[in-house]
Chains A and B, each alone.
Chain A
Amino acid sequence: MLVPTRQHRPEIGMLFLATLLLATGIMVYALDRAGAVYFLSDWTTAPTGTAIFGPLGDHVPTFLHPLVFILITAAVLRPWPRLLPAICAAWFAIECLFELGQMAPFDAHIAAALPSWFDSVPVLRITADYFTRGTYDPLDILSIGLGTVMAYPIVRAFLRGE
């Protein structure tokens, strides 16, 4: 039976922090964007007109996302702590690719290349829309970079001495 032990504390800490940050990101969408995203499409609260997170709310999710997934990946790969720079680099690249995919002309080519069966899977159905209707924003790239840079010392702190 797998029981968390003292030796698992770094993983638990990283996963707990990742969960908290993920919840923060969801709150941005729920409170400031009033369900205007697919995963909260049943969230019918009308926009308040005042963004609780202010102008930062536009970029907080893109800042948190790489941070969260670097924490999760680092927890999974804890036995290999020297992979941390590679983990950070990989997530930075992945997140940037998704962001750059929203830029013309890549958006149209990506949407056209998606298989039509995506249309029958609820979440995948909006993949084409993500690229063609999403807006490429250089500040999002900056947010991703900041999230990645922030993740490194945080994970290092959890992995003290390893």
Chain B
Amino acid sequence: MTKPRNSAQSWRLLWLIPVAVLAALSIVATGSSSSDDPGDDDVDPPLNILPTYNFFMANLTGNNPFTVSVASAYTVTVDIDGLFPGSVNLDADVNNIVTFLSYIVRSSARVDLTLTSTDPSPLDGTFAVIVTEDINAMVYGEPVSGAFEVVTPTETVSVSILADSIQLTLNGGAPVVYNTWEEFTNLFDDELQEAWQRRAALGAGAIGFVVEQFFSMADIFDELEAVTFASPVVEVCDMFTGTPPEGVLAQGEIVVTWLGSGELSDGDDFSWQFNQCWDADSNELIDGMVSLENYTETIDAITGILFEIGFGGLSGQPGGVVYDMTISDTVENQGIFTIPPEGVMTIDGGFALIIQSP
């Protein structure tokens, strides 16, 4: 072996630092380009929306967890572990109006749920919901396949979503089978059922709720540019078909406000103000606000392919979808609508939301 002839040769080792940096940067720089700096292009190509995208959700930065309180009876806090990954199939028409069709929640997605009840409950505490096998579902539909685990310090509940049933096992024991998804998720409200099954049902409901919120927000992306042309945009809601609940408007409205200027661009914010907005289909009354903060969009400058869109970022950037709203069930009796106390749900906090090309 040729030994270093003098100490000066040892200084060569320092060159390894820039070599390593150059290597890492040259690998990363082969990632896809963005439209953030489209150079001298004067003409934007037509927007090209792909049929499949990946999506990711993450916690908001700061101490602002996604929290749902139901009828003052219990509160569920959703803590997303890292990124909550999935993919979605969609259809975009000639005007680039997008319809989300089906989705997959990828295995490894994990949320930690903390349940706090007003009256002590065997379900109280923190547990993890971990997707162990890709969950496939139609958007706003029930899952058709996949598996997840609900894990506490003392028990692991495995839930398999099969073609004709839902199968639960506790710590690898004998399976308990439910024939329908609804039958399974309804376990949560049945206090006569065993706690581990109710916890599994809550885990399923939480994942479903998180994904539903994701799509309800993602659904408005194709409207954002139109909002910038006529901000604020006011939409009237359904009118009560009888006497509204006490203190509630007969017909509420939604006010969408763009808080940017010039053209829609990265970093812009929107507010989605629901002013006693009643939806006749779901019989729900929505009141409050959803803030959409730190818009981000990346379009390939040459092909026009939408690479990325969302609010917030994947690596702890500020922004996201921030809720401060109440959703109340309404019940009609002889033309008079009321809000039962157990039908009031408040949502606070939120999540970052990013949709990316595969």
Contact = CB atoms under 8 A, between A and B. Distances in A.
A132 to B, nearest CB: 6
Interface in B80-139: 82-83, 85, 106-108
Nearest to A162: B2
Which applies to chain A's interface (DSSP): helix, strand, loop or mixed?
helix
Interface string A79-101: 11110000000010011001000
A94 B316 CA distance: 25
A128 interface: yes
A127 interface: yes
Contacts of B301: 41, 44
Contacts of A37: 29-33
Contacts of A77: 12-13, 16
A130 B31 contact: yes
Interface in A118-151: 118-119, 123-124, 126-130, 132-135
Contact of A132 (B9, B25, B28, B56): B56
Interface in B42-85: 54, 56, 58, 61, 82-83, 85
Contacts of B85: 104-105, 107-108
B37 interface: yes
A36 to B, nearest CB: 6
A104 B13 CA distance: 35
Given A38-B33, A69-B19, A72-B19, A46 B302 contact: yes
Nearest to B357: A133
B241 interface: no
A36 B302 contact: yes
Which applies to chain B's interface (DSSP): helix, strand, loop or mixed?
loop
B32 A126 contact: yes
B29 A39 contact: yes
Contacts of A133: 31-32, 54, 307, 356-358
B179 interface: no
A50 interface: no
B157 to A, nearest CB: 21
Interface residues of A, number: 54
Nearest to B84: A108
Q: How large, as a class, is the contact surface on chain B?
A: 35 or more
A38 B31 contact: yes
Interface in B307-340: 307-308, 313-318
A23 to B, nearest CB: 12
Contact of B82 (A65, A69, A113, A129): A113
Interface string A35-76: 111111110101100000000000001000100010011001
A1 interface: no
Most buried by A among B4, B31, B33, B34: B31
A117 B51 CA distance: 32
Nearest to B35: A41
Contact of B12 (A69, A79, A105, A119): A79
B173 interface: no
B52 to A, nearest CB: 13
A10 to B, nearest CB: 12
A123 B29 contact: yes
A42 B28 contact: no
Contacts of B302: 34-36, 44, 46-47
Contacts of A129: 31-32, 34, 307-308, 356
B223 interface: no
Contact of A115 (B9, B15, B316, B358): B316
Contact of B106 (A105, A127, A128, A130): A105
B192 interface: no
Given A34-B302, A35-B33, A72-B19, A123 B25 contact: yes
B108 A69 contact: no
A39 B12 CA distance: 28
B12 A76 contact: yes
5 contacts: A61-B30, A73-B19, A76-B19, A111-B315, A126-B34
Interface of B: 1-5, 9, 12-13, 15-16, 19, 23-34, 37, 39-41, 54, 56, 58, 61, 82-83, 85, 106-108, 300-303, 307-308, 313-318, 356-358
